Structure 1
């Protein structure tokens, strides 16, 4: 498990760690206290991934297209 704060992780970092957390929990070979800690970390990682996906979807939605479906430009999304 990484010591990096979830809020500072890229989508890829969060997804990779989330996969690791899920693997550990599925194996079931961790103590109860560690399972709870892993579950809490996993919930934060899941939210981070969802938030990053939403931001990406919003950014893609702002790409405008011409009559032939070609991108003509983007409008900045506040906070991106």
Structure 2
């Protein structure tokens, strides 16, 4: 199984935890250059994975729509604006 498949199978929480770990490792600056590059690439994959999971979750969120008298009238798609 390649790294992208492994990343794709991670939950959002697991991917975020690994990304945070990578950031800490890179911030310490103790890893050799080649390892730092590998960590950066893995972090980039994890970042894109987390962004995609958030976008998917946002698309599935619905808000309750209210009528003029304040009574619920149904659901509408989430609008971040």
The offset of 1:6, in angstroms, is: 0.4
- Bigger radius of gyration: 2
Say whether 1:34 aligns with 2:46: no
Q: How many matched pairs?
A: 71
Flag structure 2 segments of 5+ consecutive residues without an equivalent.
none
- What CA deviation, in whole Å up to 9, does each residue of 1:31-63 have, x standing for no partner? 001000000000000000000000011011xx2
Moved segments of 4+, more than 6 Å: none
Stretch moving more, 64-73 or 5-14:
64-73
Q: Under a length normalisation based on structure 1, what TM-score does the superposition of the two structures give?
A: 0.75
Q: Cα RMSD (Å) of the superposition?
A: 2.5
The offset of 1:66, in angstroms, is: 3.8
Q: Under a length normalisation based on structure 2, what TM-score does the superposition of the two structures give?
A: 0.74
